[in-house]
Each structure stands twice: as C-alpha cells, then as structure tokens.
Amino acid sequence: MSGRLSLVATLGLAFLINGCSEPEDTGNIGKSDPISDADADGFTVEDGDCDDADAAIYPGAEDTWYDGIDSDCGFDSDYDADLDGFDSSAEKDGGEDCDDTDDTVNPDAEDAWYDGVDSDCDGASDFDADGDGHDSADYDGDDCDDNDAAFSPSVDEIWYDGIDQDCDGANDNDADGDGYESIDHGGIDCDDSASDVYPTAPEVWYDGIDQDCYPDNDDDADGDGYASADQGGTDCDDADATVNTDAVEVWYDNVDQDCDAGSDFDADGDGFDSSDFSGTDCNDALDTINPNAVEVCDAGVDNNCDGNADDADANLDATSTSTFYADTDNDGFGDANSTDEACEAPSGYVADNTDCNDTSNLYNPNAAETDCNDPEDYNCDGATGYTDADSDGFSACAECDDTDPLVNANAAEVCDGIDNDCDGTVDLASNLDYLGFVYYQDADCDLEGDLANPVLDCSQSPPPQNGSICYVSNHDDCDDANPNVNTGATEVCDQLDVDEDCDNGADDQDPDGSPSTTDYYTDTDGDGYGDDQESTGVPYCDPPSGVADNNDDCDDTTDLVS
C-alpha cells in the first residue's frame, strides 16, 4: 500500500510543480482544494486523496475489490485483484482474467498442461493438450493421443493402416466391428463393411449375401450343389441335400428325389401310378405294361392291366397271334386247310401244317414207307413208294429227291449245295466221285502241304488258318512238321542227312549239291595233308577216308613229308 501512496503523492506534486490543475471535480466537494482535508480522513488532495469528499477513500485505505471504487487511491483497476494487469472475467464485462486471485493465471500466462489450472484463461480443458476437444485418456478423458489432434473419438477412423485414429481401441483390421479381421488384411471376414457378415454369422439364404463367408451358393441352402428352383435353379427342395436333379429316385416314398416332377408312384414312367399305391399300373417296373398298352401274345403277360392276358383278353392284338392247324388224328401234324389264330395252340391244334391226311395217323411226314411197292403216300412227300418220277432207277422211297435224276444213292457228290448222293450230308465227300476242290494241310505253315493230309472243300481258295494249322493247294512238303524243310529251302550239310529241299537227296546225295560242303584233296599217305598237285578239291558234306581238307602236302607218297 505504501507504494500506492508514494505514487499518489508523486502525481499530486507533479500537478503542482507543472502548474496543472486538478482533475475536474466530479461532484466530490473538497477535491478542488488540494491542501484542505474536506472529508477529514487525514489526507488532502495534495497528499494523494483521490476523493476528498469521502472519508473512506484515501491513500492506504483498505480497498474493496469489484465495487467500482478506488478506495486506496491506487489508480489501478478495481477488477484486477491479483494485479496481473487483467480484469476479472467473473466481475467485469470484458474482463479476461479467469482467476483474479492468482497473478500467474491470465491470458498472457503460459499454460502448464495437466495441472488442473487454466493458466492462460483460454477456457480450454487443461487435459486437452492437442485442442481436439477431448481430454487425455491419461486423465479420465477419451483422447488416446493428446499430443496429436488427429487422434480423438471425433476423428474418422482410417481402417487398415494400423493406427487407432478414433481412440475406440477396436481392431484396425475389423472395420465393421464384428470381431473378425478383414480377409484382405490377413483375417477371415469376407465383407468387413457389414457387421452381420462374418464366418460364424447365421446365413440368410437367397438374399445374395454370403453372411457366413463360406464360399457356397447363396441359392443352395442344403449345400447339395444345386440352386433352389425358387431362385432360378433346379433343386425342387433346397432344404434337403438328398433331393436334387442328380439324386437317385427312391420310389413310393412320396418324395421327388430327382426333381423331375414325375409321380413318385410311377417308377417305369409310363404315366400310370402303381396299382400297389392306388394306381392302375399292374406292373410298375415295365413301361410297356399299363392300361394304355396293347395286349399282345407274350406268354401270359397282362399288358393292358385289365386282368386278362393273351387269348383270355378280348382286346388282344390279332397281329401278334400265331396260326395253328387242326390235328384231328392227333399225330402231331396239322391240316393246312383247317386253321385258328391264337397265342397258344388251342386244344386239338398244332403249329405244324404238313399232314397230308388228318383223318388217319398213318399219314404224316414221319410215317415210314418201307414197301417201295405201296401205292399210298404215307410220309406226305408227294410221291408213292414205287414211283420213280425222275427215271434214275431209284423209286421215291429209295432216294432223297425223286424229281432230279442226278440225285440218288449212286450219284456223285458235287459242290452245288445239294445232297447229291442222298447220304444226309451236303457238299462233303462221301465217295470217290467227289467233284470239289482238294487242299492240303500245312502243319508247319511254310506254304507247302502234306500229301498225306488232303482236305476236300467246295471253296475256290484254301480254308483259313485254323489255330496253328495252315492249308494250301499243293502237296510239295516232304516234312510238314519242320518249317525249314520244303522245296524252297537250301540243302545244308547236317549229321542227320536231312533232305531240306525235298528233292529226294540229302547232303552228298542231293542232286543239286549243297552250298555248305567243304572241298577235300587226296591224302594218299594219310598224314592229314592233301596232295598239293591237286588244285581243285572235291566237295563233300561227309568226306570219305583218304582225303584231307587242305592240299598242303608236297609229297603225298610218304607221311614223313608234309
């Protein structure tokens, strides 16, 4: 306070020395008299009394702050109690000092963060150093990084950069917050923009969204590989994986496993349900049997399911019947002039129509005509026994064809497809008059046959090879068991003296000689060396005695010289 009094006295004295008049009287009597003490407070204007009309105002008086009166005449702001040069914002409009009790707190002060004091009176939280409107998480706030305004709950999160911009503590690779990281950033969430899409999410079928992130068809709820028919697919029951277009149909269970829309009680697909299941198809295993089928002869099958089969069915197709012939004499042979159409032979009818007299069982194709003088045609061959219609010297009962004089027991069998000699065989030699072709067996298949094994055949070419046996038209082979022996073979010298070329001579006896012989020279003295006087040797396969296979002896009269 003494400082304020000195200041007042100094100001008053300055007024007097400089001849300056006192400030204009504002209504306080006595102020115009600098030497008087109008308010009797012990101070004159000259003494620094700034209001000589009020005894409560004088230098050194106890100043009451914020009442608008300068009680101690200090000429300072009555709204700056801490004397820091800033009026209290709480006591004066336009004041800036947010704490007028502390001169370290004012707009010019430097704020110290996190001490709970707004030192610079900017009104901002002392726990929000980066000024982003969020207190530090270290001081019960929600700002995870109070040094950077780019981090706070008010900041938009930038996903997948490894930074928690919005301070929510959530996984930066889980944008939709469903607890699963994005599949594009090492996770398994197939859609990280939808919180209802993740691997364990319940699948909502047919909405085009893969909620559970399983790579299946959203239109295939039963997972059988076929889309629901309601979604444009072919699966008629998308709640059952055993039902689809490739499933095996289980008949009669009232389930359309293969989705063909056909009746489950029509296994043969003929358009009629099985009679075992209130239908009319008496055989649901065959599509040829149903009420619309045509009844035909087929060993008692009821084709049209009317309860009758074959001859018992009035609707029998007549084109399927057979013709049967009356067998009045019961000999097994029918009368060609008495017929009946049926599936099975009626009683008294047979399939044969070769009986020439159906009134007596003595007449039929199997009857014997032993007496060639009998005038009756018992065997129904059209000729009586004693007749010789072809005039070949054989009666009809003694030959196989009485219409051809070249056919009888004495005829020659020829290649014409007829049993010429009536021996029961056709075109096979049965006598010396055979007029076909003769081939020979070629057992070693060297293209030369064996004379001892002729084969008679009507073909103009030899029969085809049968197993290891061939057939040829010649019989030139002299050893049909050795393919190296035939007329085209080369004669060779061998110990067994084999006639390889089939010319009836072997080795040294072969009239054609053998290229495998060795030349020999006379060896008179028997010393193993032939006479050098012989320039040409004699070829032998098997040399006689007295010869050598060289002509190196210069004196063949003595074995002492060689």
* DSSP codes of every residue in 473-526: S----S-TT-TT-STTSPP---TT---TT-SS--GGG-TT--TT-EEEEE-TT-
pLDDT band at 435 (very low <50, low <70, confident <90, very high): low
Quote the tokens at residue 158.
Answer: 């930038």
* pLDDT surpassing 50 at residue 422: yes
Region 346-365 average pLDDT: 94
Which pLDDT does position 555 carry in this prediction?
83
Which pLDDT does position 174 carry in this prediction?
92
pLDDT band at 397 (very low <50, low <70, confident <90, very high): confident
Which pLDDT does position 243 carry in this prediction?
97
Q: Distance between CA 228 and CA 219 in Å, rounded? A: 6
DSSP-assigned beta bridge partners for residue 341: 323
- For the chain, what's the residue count? 562
* pLDDT surpassing 50 at residue 14: no
Which pLDDT does position 22 carry in this prediction?
39
Which pLDDT does position 4 carry in this prediction?
38
DSSP-assigned beta bridge partners for residue 325: 339, 350
Which pLDDT does position 10 carry in this prediction?
39
* pLDDT surpassing 60 at residue 9: no
* CA-based torsion, 529, 530, 536, 540: positive or negative: negative
Kindly report the backbone phi and psi dihedral angles of residue 324, in degrees, each rounded to the nearest multiple of 5, phi listed first.
Answer: -120, 155
Kindly report the backbone phi and psi dihedral angles of residue 14, in degrees, each rounded to the nearest multiple of 5, phi listed first.
Answer: -65, -40
For 224-249, the pLDDT digits (tens) are: 999 999 999 999 999 999 999 999 99
* pLDDT surpassing 90 at residue 252: yes
Residues with Cβ < 8 Å from 473, sequence gap 6 or more?
437, 439, 440, 449, 462
DSSP-assigned beta bridge partners for residue 97: 88
* pLDDT surpassing 60 at residue 324: yes
Quote the tokens at residue 424.
Answer: 């029961």
Which pLDDT does position 428 carry in this prediction?
65
* pLDDT surpassing 60 at residue 431: no
Region 55-67 average pLDDT: 89
Q: Distance between CA 227 and CA 208 in Å, rounded? A: 12
Rg of the chain in Å (alpha carbons): 71
Q: Distance between CA 50 and CA 46 in Å, rounded? A: 9
For 127-144, the pLDDT digits (tens) are: 999 999 999 999 999 999
Q: Distance between CA 548 and CA 508 in Å, rounded? A: 16
Burial of 327 (0-12, 13-18, 19+ CB in 10 A): buried
Region 114-129 average pLDDT: 89
Q: Nearest CA to 283 among 297, 299, 267, 296? A: 267
Which pLDDT does position 433 carry in this prediction?
58
